[in-house]
Structure formats: structure tokens, C-alpha cells
Amino acid sequence: MTKTRSAVAIYARISQDRTGEELGVKRQLQDCRAEAERRGWTVAQEYVDDDISAYSGKKRPEYERMLRDIAEGRRDGVIVWHMDRLHRRPIELERFAEICGHAELRDVVTPSGDVDLVNGDGLLMARLLAAVAANESNAKSRRISRKSLEIAQSGRPTMGGPRPFGFLDDRVTHHPAEAPVIRQLTRRALAGETLISLVTWLQDKGVTTTQGKEWRTNTVRTVLTNPRMWGMRVHQGQVIGKAVWEPIITEDEGERLRRKLLDPARRTNRSARRYPLSGMLECGKCGNRMHSHPRGQYRRYGCLKGPDSRGCGGIFIYAERLEEFIAEAVLYRLDSPELHRTLTEDTTAPEEARALEEAIEADAAKLNELAEMWADGEITRAQMKTMQSRVEARLETNRRAFSRLTHPADAAEYIGQGQELRAKWHTLNLSQQVAIIKAVLHKVTILPATTPGRHGLDPNRVVPEWRL
């Protein structure tokens, strides 16, 4: 990763992003120059396109000039602030990758991660990274939205989203009916009543959420642990000071509610579902399965050492970005030409299916053999039964696996639906998401980190093995 490069291109582009805020070219250039310096690379040329959306398909003169320089072998690396600055449309990426491939330019880097466009998988990864990066840059611009931060710091409420329970439409005045309900819920919860019992109580009283829906345990938990209820202003999930409204319950009650309702020990049965990739990740060092291994408040997957897991303990990866990335990969895969080809061309059975087929045939032959041995008096009936049941169990497992492989019925209903699924992905519950992921993805190998300590996801560490 730290190879010396002496004629690197920096590319920057100004564009309106979806939140209507623009990320200044200056800032992009600063970040890219810093990245070059960090790597010890020499920048030969900076290319800047201004005010032209990569989406519109209009010509980008500087981008074209950079491509010519790459094609003529005058550049040995590209630094770009985000992949979405380079391309928005797949066809542009294909062309870019082809030109880089011919010129043997492998190093396309962003301050947040590397992409190897010449390597076959790298291209897919670049597309996914671009998709993820687009989301990220959205989130980032929202995060740095000065205005909402200013409002938050003044303690005033934001008006977006549904009205918070307990408050009137101005989000400051207590709701005459709902505020007492919150105080009731607080007393009951602190007295040890379970969330299920609180939900039942609310339903019996006919109290609904501000959107007219029935309460669930998680919505009750969310309301009761929201610092808004004890007069705190929350911004981007963080308490940033006192709010302008009066508290409904005391701060002490609020803190006790948080300890009680957010105590991880209460939620052990949920932890399995909080790690949707559990059992699908394989350690790239020792081949063991990776499991949930949180550090502090951060969810991680890890290869675990010790007598129970027998892993090497050598690989960890943060969960959130990885899960986003894999979901994106799966949704992309569902719409990919490769997948359609796989399904329509019906090429020779994949290796795994062939191996299973052989195992099934071998076991079927073994059953015959056992019957013959018993008939010939070589084994007793009891011995035959024992061996038979062992072979039959294995046979059954293999048959089921074989039919899963050859009749991917689960996946069939999702194929070609990547776009639609993407639009509603976050409304699906975790088990629905897992079902879709498992229909397409066999497993994912996680390789060791090459850039320790850096935040974000390095897509080169993620090696998917597709079921189809």
C-alpha cells in the first residue's frame, strides 16, 4: 500500500449532492493532497471539473484529459476524494477501468480506502464502494449541516419527522394526555414491570403512538430512554445540552430508565439477531467461523480464541459498515448480468453440487452394500441398523443441500429485484434481510487488515463467495 508513485493524478469535481449542499473543491483537493503526502506520492497534475454533474452525462473536460494522460502512460496513480466524484454511471466506471487496465494503473485511492481496478473483483468492489460512498457522502453532508447543529445547540426542537410522544405539535409544550402517560410508564418500569406488561397496559388503555400505531416493546423502550423526556437536546444521537422545553420526568429517573432498559444483559436473546452475518463470515487466517465480538459500544465480528471456538483470534472487523457493504453487494448481485447468465445459461453444475452428487451416490451404494453384507451374514442385523442410520442421516443432509444448490427457489423470487429491494431494505426486518442475503451469498472470507487503525471499511478485505 505504500509503494512510491511519482506521477499521480488528483481528480476533484464539484457537484450538487442530493441534500443540496455542495462539497467544495478546495476541501476535496486538500484531502487528496494530504493523502498523497501521507503515502509519500508525488502529484503530477490536479484535474478539476466544476459544476458539471457526472450524472447528466455532459462532457467533463478535465476528466477526459486525465483519461488521455492515463492512457498514454503518464500517470501511475489516481487520488480522488470519493469514488462518486469519478463516476455515477456504471458505463463510465467500465471505461475508466478498461483504460486503467491497459495502462496497468492499479492504484486508485481515496482518503477512505483503496480500489484495485485491474483485479477482477476490484471492479465489482469499486461499484459497490461507489454506491456505499454515495450514501456516506449524503450522511456526511447531513452530519455537517451547520443549520441543524445551530438549532440543536440553541436547545430548540427540529420539526422534521413524526411528533415526539408527550409533546404537542410545537414539540415544546407538554401534551395534556400523553405527558402523564410517560410519567406512569416511568413509575411502572422503575418498579420492575416488564416492557411487555407496559405494552399490554397501553393497548388496554387504547393509547397509540403519535402516528396512531399500536405500541411495541421497542417503541416503548425508545420513548422512555430518549433524553428528550428529561429536557435534554439530542443531536445525531448525542446529548448536546439542555433543551428549551420543560422535562416530563426527572433526569435521575431518565438515567435509571436507561440503565434498566438498555442494560445489555436484558437483551441477550436479541444479540443473535443483532449480528445478521453471524456464521457466514470466515476468518481469512485460520478458516474458522467468525462470531459477534463487540468492543465497548461498537459491534464487531471476530475470530475467537479459546477452547469453545478454537479460532486464531487474529481477525476482527467492525460490523456496521461491513453489513451495509454486504447488503449492497447482495442487492447489486441480484441485478447483475452475471447472475442472469448463471441462471439462464445453466452451465455445468458448480463444484460443490458435483461433490454432493458424488457423496449421495456413494452413500446410496453403501446402503446396498450393507444390506448385502447382512444377507451374506458378514454383519449382524443390529450392526447393519446402526451403520444404516448413520449413512441415512448423512444422505438426508446431502440431499437437502443438493436441492438447495440446484433449485435456488429462495433466491428466485428476489432475482432482478435489487433496485426495489434496495429502496425498501431498511424497512425489512433483520430476519427478512438475512433470508435474502443467505439466498445469494454462501459465505464471506474476511482478510487481515492492511491499514490498521483506520476507520471505515477496506473492501479488499471482503471476499464474497456467491451461492449463485
- Residue 86 buriedness (CB in 10 A; 0-12 / 13-18 / 19+): buried
The least CB distance from residue 291 to Zn ion, in Å, is 11
The residue among 43 and 280 lying less far from Zn ion, judged by its C-beta, is 280
CA distance 388 to 396: 12
| Distance between CA atoms of residues 128 and 142, nearest Å | 21
- Strand pairing of 232-235 and 238-242? antiparallel
Are 106 and 3 in contact, with CB atoms under 8 Å apart? no
Minimum distance, C-beta of residue 313 to Zn ion, in the bound complex (Å):
7
Residues whose CB falls within 8 Å of the CB of residue 225, separated by 6 or more in sequence, listed in order: 254, 257, 258, 261, 262
Strands 8-13 vs 43-49: parallel, antiparallel or unpaired: parallel
How far apart are the C-alpha atoms of 431 and 390, rounded to whole Å? 33
C-beta separation of 398 from 356 below 8 A: yes
Binding site for Zn ion (CB under 5 A): 283, 285-286, 288, 303, 311-312, 314
Nearer Cβ to Zn ion, position 132 or 281?
Answer: 281
For residues 94 and 110, what is the distance between their CA atoms, to the nearest angstrom?
Answer: 18
Nearer to Zn ion, 131 or 281 (CB): 281
Least Cβ distance, residue 301 to Zn ion (angstroms): 11
- Grid cell locating 73: 502512460
For cell 416511568, name the residue.
186
Measured from the CB atom, is 301 or 332 closer to Zn ion?
301
Q: How far is the CB of 325 from Zn ion (least distance, A)?
A: 20
Q: Which amino acid is at 439?
A: A
Question: Which residue lies nearer to Zn ion by CB, 88 or 285?
Answer: 285
Nearer residue to Zn ion within complex by CB, 286 or 463: 286
**157 or 284: CB nearest Zn ion:** 284
Q: In angstroms, what is the minimal distance from the CB of 296 to Zn ion?
A: 22
Identify the helix (H) or strand (E) that includes residue 238: strand 238-242
Rounded to a whole number of angstroms, the minimum distance from the CB of residue 351 to Zn ion is 24
Nearer to Zn ion, 288 or 398 (CB): 288
Closest to Zn ion by CB, 303 vs 444, is 303
Amino acid in position 174: H
d(CA 60, CA 313): 48
Contacts of 53-62 spanning 24+ positions with Cβ under 8 A: 53/15, 53/16, 53/88, 54/13, 54/15, 54/84, 54/85, 54/86, 54/87, 54/88, 54/89, 54/92, 55/15, 55/88, 55/89, 57/89, 60/13, 62/11
Closest to Zn ion by CB, 85 or 461: 461
**Least distance to Zn ion from the beta carbon of 292, Å?**
15
Closest distance of CB 450 from Zn ion, Å: 16
β-partners of residue 150 are none
Instruction: Classify residue 425 by burial, with Cβ atoms within 10 Å: 0-12, 13-18, 19+.
Output: middle
Minimal distance, residue 329 CB to Zn ion, in Å: 22
Nearest approach in angstroms of CB 276 to Zn ion is 20
Nearest distance in Å: CB 444, Zn ion: 14
Contact (Cβ atoms closer than 8 angstroms) between residue 233 and residue 241: yes
* Inter-CA distances, 325 with 6, 174, 271, Å: 32, 42, 20
Q: Give whichever of 225 and 309 is closer to Zn ion, judged by the CB atom.
A: 309
